[in-house]
Every structure is written in structure tokens, then in C-alpha cells.
């Protein structure tokens, strides 16, 4: 870690915020473009693939039959009303006749014989009317049977015509979805590649915060916006690209580590005065106060000791691993302090040269 000056810390924090803000704006813009591009063509549906000529013919026949059946239903309703009124007529007449017969038996009038016959004829006629109404209903119901069967068969046909379109539609839909996905992939993958190039080449650029915002944006666009759009292909793409990125990262990390180690080795061969020139002032000051040797990067105080509030460094003047000078005495007043300090903290004497002289 670099021991950065305080303003530098705030500056880098502000730059991070700026990176995130720019990335957010880019994501918004990208989302807008994304939402416009794939919806350019209209979304397909199953009805686009149905044989419409067949379907219309069937629908026309269904309409006719439904109209016929409606008429039939109304006719039956009317006939039922008629039957009800006929039955009522007959029953009323029958009750009247029975009570009349009862009265007649009581009086035993023979001359009323022809009247009996006339009245029973009337009742029979009413019974016939009732029967006729019943037969009307039966006839009408019979008339409805055939159209109802045909209608059921037609509805079956209609379903078949619609179902026949399903495989074609599903095939077309898969293709459509793949097309949109490829389009999105073609937009986002180059962004990711550009980001990889930026990470490789522009990391030490002064404009890195701007590059970083682009990288954040491309990562978001690829892994968050593209992938959930299509879980079936998205999963593959996400994992394959994720694995590729992890492998690349591992490759470059290992290379960087090897480079670091070989650099350290060559550094260790050099005399201390030269080593000092290679180490950055702020880094060295920070590392020594943290208990880490700025030359070999190893800890020169044990962890247990570091736990206490102030690491007791009184007895460690040289790195126990590489012999690098960590603390030295001021040539003017003799105070022991960080060997990298430019000035003595006690007397203000420019002590840097002295510590180097002491080591040389
Ligand atoms: Zn060391
Ligand atoms: Zn001093």
C-alpha cells in the first residue's frame, strides 16, 4: 500500500465516485439503446403461424351452426311454454269434469248422458293437444342433435388447426430469441474486450478513473443486462466468459507475481544505497511504520507484538530477513528514527544522507 498524502486519498476517493457516476450514466444510456435495438421487429406470436384460411372456414361454419342452435333453443323454449299452457288447460278441464260428474251422480239425471259424451270428447281433444305439444318439443330437440355434434367436431378441428401451428411457432420463436441474443452479444462482447485491453494497457494512465468507469459499465452490460435476458443461452455465455476472464486474471496475476519475485531477487543482489534509491519515499515510510521491511516486503516484527498499540521497534534496527537498515540514529542528536526520514524529528537535522552514509 502506498502511503499517499492526505489530499491524494480524497482525490482517489473522488475519482472512484466519478468512475461510478460515469459508469451509471453509461449503463443508463446503454439500457436505452438496448431496449430500442431488439424491439425493432414486432414480437411474434403463435397466431402468426396458424392456417388462417382453414381457420376462417371453420369459424364461419361454427357461426352458422351456433346461430341455428340458438334458433332451435328458442323454439324449444316456446314449445315448452305452449306445453305448459296445454297441460294447464287439460288439467283444469279434467277437474271441472270430475266435479260435474260428481254432481250429476248425486242428482242421477239420465238426460245428461249426451252431455257426458260431449264433455269427455272435449277433454280428449285437450289431451291430444298436450301430446302434440310434447311431440313438438321432442321433434325440436331431435333437430338440435345433429348440429350440436357437428359443432363439437368443428371445435375439435379448430383446436387441431391452432395446435398444428405450435411447433412452427416455437421453432420461429427460438430463432428470434437467438437472433436478439446474438445482437446483444455483438454489442456487449466488444465492450468487454475493450475493457480487457484497457485493464492491460491503461492501468497506469492519468485518465485511469475514466477508463475504469467504462470497464464497470461493460461488466454491468455484459453480466447483468445481457445474461438475464436469455437464461437458456445466457447461462452458458456467462459461465464461459466468466471462466475465461478468471483464467486470464489468474494468468496475469501469476506473471506479475513472477516478475515481482525476480525483481526482488535482482534488487536483493544490489548494494543497499542502490536499493534505497529504488524504493519510493512514501511507501518506505508507511511500510516501516507498519512493521514491514520496504526492501524484502517481509514482516520484521512478529504479529503478536504488532497487536499491542505501539509496536516496540526499539530493538530492531535492521531487517532480520535481509539486513536492510530500517532505523538509524541522527548524526546530530543521536535520536533513533525511521531511516527514510528526510529530516530528524527531534533536531530538524537533514538526516537522510547520514543514515545512508552509516550503511554504506
Ligand atoms: Zn528485509
Ligand atoms: Zn537529530
> How far does residue 8's CA lie from ligand 2's centre (Å)?
29
Same domain, 169 and 51: yes
Would 239 be classed as within a structural domain?
yes
Which of 269, 287, 309 lies at the terminal end of a domain, its last residue? Answer: 269
Q: Residue 292 forms beta bridges with which residues?
A: 299
* Alpha helices in the chain, H assignment, sequence order: 6-36, 52-107, 113-201, 208-220, 231-269, 272-278, 281-289, 303-307, 352-359
Would 1 be classed as within a structural domain?
no
Range of the domain at 138: 46-177
> How far does residue 318's CA lie from ligand 2's centre (Å)?
19
Phi, psi dihedral angles at 337 (to 5 degrees): -150, 175
Same domain, 51 and 173: yes
Low-confidence ranges of the chain (pLDDT < 70): 1-5, 34, 37-42, 105-112, 227-234, 302-314, 351-360
Which of 224, 246, 269 lies at the terminal end of a domain, its last residue? Answer: 269
Ligand 2 ion local residues (Cβ < 5 A): 330, 332-333, 335, 344, 346-347, 349
Q: What is the model's pTM? A: 0.49
Cβ proximity of 46 and 162 under 8 Å: yes
Would 170 be classed as within a structural domain?
yes
Q: Please write the tens of the pLDDT for every residue from 285-344.
A: 888 888 888 888 888 876 555 555 555 555 778 888 888 898 888 888 888 888 888 888
Total domains in the chain come to 3
> How far does residue 343's CA lie from ligand 2's centre (Å)?
8
CATH of the domain at 117: 1.10.287
Ligand that comes closest to the CA of residue 350: 2
Ligand that comes closest to the CA of residue 345: 2
Ligand that comes closest to the CA of residue 292: 1
Same domain, 71 and 158: yes
Q: Please write the tens of the pLDDT for every residue from 20-67.
A: 999 999 888 877 776 776 555 567 788 888 888 999 999 999 999 999
How far from the centroid of its chain's Cα atoms is residue 321's Cα?
Answer: 54
> How far does residue 11's CA lie from ligand 1's centre (Å)?
32
> How far does residue 350's CA lie from ligand 2's centre (Å)?
8
Which of 237, 269, 301 lies at the terminal end of a domain, its last residue? Answer: 269
Amino acid at each position: 500500500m502506498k502511503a499517499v498524502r492526505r489530499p491524494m486519498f480524497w482525490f482517489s476517493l473522488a475519482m472512484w465516485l466519478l468512475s461510478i457516476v460515469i459508469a451509471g450514466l453509461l449503463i443508463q444510456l446503454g439500457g436505452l439503446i438496448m431496449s430500442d435495438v431488439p424491439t425493432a421487429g414486432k414480437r411474434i406470436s403463435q397466431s402468426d403461424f396458424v392456417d388462417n384460411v382453414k381457420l376462417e372456414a371453420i369459424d364461419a361454419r361454427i357461426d352458422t351452426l351456433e346461430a341455428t342452435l340458438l334458433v332451435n333453443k328458442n323454439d324449444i323454449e316456446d314449445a315448452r311454454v305452449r306445453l305448459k299452457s296445454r297441460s294447464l288447460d287439460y288439467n283444469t278441464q279434467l277437474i271441472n269434469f270430475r266435479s260435474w260428474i260428481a254432481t250429476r251422480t248425486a242428482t242421477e239425471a239420465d238426460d245428461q248422458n249426451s252431455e257426458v259424451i260431449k264433455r269427455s270428447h272435449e277433454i280428449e281433444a285437450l289431451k291430444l293437444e298436450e301430446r302434440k305439444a310434447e311431440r313438438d318439443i321432442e321433434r325440436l330437440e331431435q333437430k338440435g342433435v345433429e348440429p350440436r355434434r357437428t359443432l363439437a367436431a368443428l371445435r375439435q378441428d379448430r383446436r387441431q388447426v391452432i395446435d398444428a401451428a405450435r411447433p412452427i411457432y416455437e421453432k420461429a420463436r427460438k430463432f428470434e430469441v437467438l437472433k436478439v441474443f446474438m445482437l446483444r452479444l455483438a454489442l456487449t462482447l466488444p465492450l468487454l474486450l475493450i475493457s480487457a485491453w484497457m485493464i492491460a494497457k491503461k492501468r497506469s494512465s492519468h485518465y485511469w478513473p475514466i477508463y475504469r468507469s467504462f470497464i464497470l459499465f461493460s461488466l454491468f452490460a455484459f453480466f447483468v443486462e445481457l445474461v438475464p435476458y436469455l437464461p437458456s443461452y445466457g447461462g452458458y455465455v456467462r459461465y464461459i466468459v466468466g471462466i475465461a476472464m478468471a483464467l486470464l486474471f489468474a494468468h496475469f496475476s501469476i506473471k506479475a507475481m513472477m516478475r515481482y519475485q525476480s525483481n526482488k531477487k535482482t534488487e536483493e543482489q544490489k548494494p543497499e544505497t542502490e536499493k534505497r534509491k529504488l524504493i519510493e519515499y512514501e511507501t518506505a515510510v508507511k511500510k516501516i511504520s507498519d512493521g514491514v521491511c520496504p526492501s524484502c516486503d517481509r514482516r520484521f516484527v512478529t504479529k503478536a507484538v504488532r497487536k499491542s498499540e505501539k509496536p516496540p521497534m526499539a530493538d530492531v534496527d535492521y531487517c532480520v530477513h535481509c539486513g536492510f537498515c530500517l532505523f538509524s540514529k541522527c548524526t546530530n542528536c543521536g535520536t533513533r528514527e525511521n531511516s527514510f526520514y528526510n529530516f530528524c524529528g527531534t533536531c530538524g537535522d537533514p538526516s537522510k544522507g547520514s543514515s545512508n552514509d552509516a550503511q554504506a
